[in-house]
Structure 1
Amino acid sequence: MKSSTGDKILLSSIYTLLALLAFLSFYPFWNAAVISFNNGTDTMKGGITFWPRQFSLENYRVVFEDNRLINGFIISVLRTVIGTISSIAVTAIFAYGMSKSELIGRKPYMVLCVITMYFSGGLIPTFLLIRELHMFNTFWVMVIPGLISVWNMIIFRTFFKGIPAGLEESSKIDGCSNWGVLFRIILPLSGPVVATLALFTAVSHWNDWFTPSIYISDSTLMPIQTKLQQILNSNIMSEQMAQMDSAAQGRMNRMKAVTSKSLSMATMMVATLPILCVYPFVQKYFVKGVMVGSLKE
């Protein structure tokens, strides 16, 4: 069917609008990358747009030579891996039980779960609870409180209810236990949903700087996102330099080419790229997982 002039104008307008929106979404990230590769002193003059004006790797050299930032990066990786695996496992177990109509009290349990999606205990009561549980200033305060996501549980539960009951019954006839059915039959069939929810959970863990800033005071346990937030809030470069290790103090002269803004942009790139690299590997599951897990028959 041949397109009319009006259709061509409409399509051109739509493509132009989408291209503009894509540019507006991508440009801030690109500009941050450009600033991270630019000389810090020159960056303070302004006018850095699409390309570095004075190319420099000093910002990244400082980031990778600062033991505090490297330690924060390791903490972020550990938190994301452990937190994602444990959260998906516990949430899937909970959802599997909630998907069974024979579960006594299933509806009251569901009501209690939904209530937690809209109301929380508040920051101060939660802080007191964390302290009484002796999780304050520990690595596990970033993992255990977020083990179960009600939203993820609902998606898991909806998908599990769509799996034919005969498949589970035949597995039990062959001698498979409930645990075996879940981990050997149900979860392998739930690959797209698991991959999608794992991505959401991993991004949430990776980007979270607020939780460590409230419940952790030991700098060796802080993830790189919290350290980045501290850098962004620091207006005086000398304060950052005073906290560096003795080896970094010996590089003071070279640091003249680095400012708090350029350092924060380089740190942001280091903190952002790892999670971006994960997305291409789960992209094929993403749309399918969201659609399958959100439909109810």
Structure 2
Amino acid sequence: MRRKRTTEDWILDTLITMILLIVVFITLYPFYYILLITFNSGSDTTMGGMYLWPREFTLGNYIYFIEDPKWVNAFLITILRTVVGTVLAVFFTSMVAYGLAKRDLMFRKTYFFIVVVAMNFSGGLISFYIVLKSLGLINTFGVYVIPGMLNLFFLLISISFFREIPEELGESARIDGGSELRIFAKIVLPVSMPLIATMSLFIGSGQWNSWLDSAYFVQNENLRTLTYRMMQVINQSMVPTGDAAAASMSRSQVTPFSIQATAMVVSIVPILGVYPFLQKYFVSGMMLGSVKG
């Protein structure tokens, strides 16, 4: 029997709804405001007082972004490093985890000790730079993807996940003559889609948003990433004098701030486009390693 709603219930529901609406507004409005800036004249935006819709609607910010080879190249480099870096990191991390999940692996405890030490202690930026330079990765595209090919955090989670896969699946494949690589590719990976999707989402987001490696280890302007270009615009806007190009831009319909906002919108769209395809695996993937069967 349905209980009759009292005045206290209505008050409580109204209060909860209002709180949730406020939280949603606080969360979404900054994104809407950035989108608003991209469709408004840059010179008009600097005047302030724009909150709900563009005062001087224009597509000039996006046209400037598309026509500027510097921004287009940075966008393509970011896409390339995200795709290649994610594929390599997921593949090698899952392969190493599959091997370490075998309880009869020789020196298994030693490998685990190395992983734990590497997760908690770092040699520092200078040591990391020396290693990259000795490997010939400085000022190359490889500096974006090779250092992150093994993700230690997801390595431990993957080991926990692979241990839950019944050994009988692999044994039956070995009886039929299947190699370990074939077992990994044909049996282990297909049943590990929640793990793979979760790893891909987090590693891909990290690759997409990373800019420190582009700032510290790359001098070739053709290898700069989108996030690094955004950081450049922020730094230029903080300099009072600025260079001639920034001054010329500020007098036009496009300003450094409007281009920065446009780059932010462009950088958000790919992540929003990928997330719906991985959403069905995301919740189950987040629980990996936390529940034992």
TM-score greater than 0.5 by the shorter chain = yes
In structure 1, what is the Cα distance between the partners aligned to 2:234 and 2:199? 30
2:274 to 275, 278, 286: 278
* Percentage of matched positions with identical amino acids: 39
Could you say if the C-alpha distance between residues 220 and 240 of structure 1 is closer, same or farther in structure 2, counting changes exceeding 3 Å? Answer: farther
Which residue of structure 2 aligns with residue 72 of structure 1?
Answer: 74
- C-alpha distance in 2 between matches for 1:116 and 1:29: 37
> Is 1:220 aligned with 2:222?
yes
CA distance in 1, matches of 2:8, 2:121: 50
Larger deviation, residues 132-141 vs 12-21: 12-21
Normalised to the residue count of structure 1, the TM-score between the two structures is: 0.91
Unaligned runs of 5+ in 2: none
Listed one character per residue, the Cα deviations across residues 63-104 of structure 1 (whole Å, up to 9, x for unaligned) are: 000001111111011101100000000000110011111112
Using the alignment, how far apart are the partners of 2:79 and 2:108 within structure 1?
A: 36
Q: Which residue of 2 aligns with 1:249?
A: none
Aligned mates of 2:109, 2:65 — CA distance in 1: 51
**For residues 103-151 of structure 1, what are the alpha-carbon distances to aligned partners after superposition, in whole Å with 9 as ceiling and x for unaligned?**
1222232122122222211111111211111100000000011111111
Is residue 2:242 matched to residue 1:241?
Answer: no
Give the alignment's TM-score, normalised by structure 2: 0.92
Match in the other structure for 1:59: 61
> Root-mean-square deviation (CA), in Å?
2.0
How many residues align structurally?
288
1:30-49 correspondence runs (5 A)? 30-49=32-51
- Contact 1:234–1:240, Cα closer than 8 Å, also in 2: no
Counterpart for residue 207 of structure 2: 205
Counterpart-to-counterpart distance in 2, 1:290 and 1:191: 12
Identify the residue that residue 165 of structure 2 maps to in structure 1: 163
Structure 2 CA distance, aligned partners of 1:165 and 1:291?
Answer: 22
* Equivalent residue for 2:253, pick from 245, 249, 257: 257
Residue identity in the other structure for 1:123: L
Q: 1:114 to 1:44 in 2, by over 3 A?
A: same
Which residue pairs with 1:95 in the alignment? 97
Q: Which runs of 5 or more residues in structure 1 are unaligned?
A: 243-251
**Counterpart code for 2:225:** P
1:120 corresponds in structure 2 to: 122
SS in 1 for 2:139: coil
Q: Do the aligned partners of residues 107 and 231 (structure 1) sit closer, same or farther apart at CA in structure 2, a change above 3 Å counting?
A: same
Q: Which string of whole-angstrom CA distances, capped at 9 and with x for unpartnered residues, describes residues 178-203 of structure 1?
A: 11111110001101110111011111
Offset from partner CA, 1:265-297 (integer Å, 9 cap, x none): 111111221111110111111101212443233
Question: Secondary structure of 2:58's partner?
Answer: coil
Amino acid at match of 2:28: F
